[in-house]
Structure 1
Amino acid sequence: MKKITALLKESVVLGDGGYLIELERRGYVDSGSRREKVGTGKGSGQFTPEVAIQHPDALRELHREFVNAGAEVIQALTFFGTREKLNRAGYGADTERINAAAVKIAKEIAGNNALVAGSVSRTQLTEREG
């Protein structure tokens, strides 16, 4: 696989997206939104990426689908993987393990067919409760 700068010089680069929403739709993540097909009791209700250690095969399958659909860059499921957010969800002690698993799974599926990018969310340190 070429470097991202080389790909961008040649054409538009296709990426992936919507992991948490799709994993929620499939019943592996619970955002607490109470949307239809949600509320399975799986997940923290915080939309955090613990699925990387709880349901790694579901994450692998979704990565594979994005690569098969033509994504040239896939994201490791690290969005909302900050210690602050994971603490709120009860997974703070697993921060490194969750993020490392997310990166390992993405790299495994990408192989030589896609690049892997991280996904960074805003910090929750300045969020107000309630």
Structure 2
Amino acid sequence: MTMRRLAIYSFVFILLALMPLAFGQLSHFVADVMTGIAIFVILAVSADLVVGLAGLITLGHGAFFAIGAYSSAILTTRYGLPPVLALGVGLLASTAVSWVVGRAVLHLKGYYLAMATLGLTAVMVTLLMGAR
């Protein structure tokens, strides 16, 4: 990772983390918008790491993002777990699924990797739409 890219990512992260302190008591709308921005910044950085730095053509990193998000949301809303604990469980669930899938598809190259990860995304969309 180049120093410039690292500096930009660090600046954006610090800016998003300190935004509530700069504006004091934020309205719920502004807090929701800032949370959404922070979530999609994390997703964009993950895409940049996989595609830009590793040089892999992958279409499935959103599936792992969804696994962590859905599992932590379900654990918080349906089962009443504290959000921090549910976030940790979501992280572990996403990590476990990515390890299993990674073991299966990392020997693929080029378009074959892209198609395998696109298939993973299609499967996750079907499964998670049924989880509602």
Q: What is the TM-score when the length of structure 2 is the normalising length?
A: 0.27
Q: Which has the larger radius of gyration?
A: 2
Q: What is the TM-score when the length of structure 1 is the normalising length?
A: 0.28
Q: Which protein is richer in helix relative to its size? A: 2
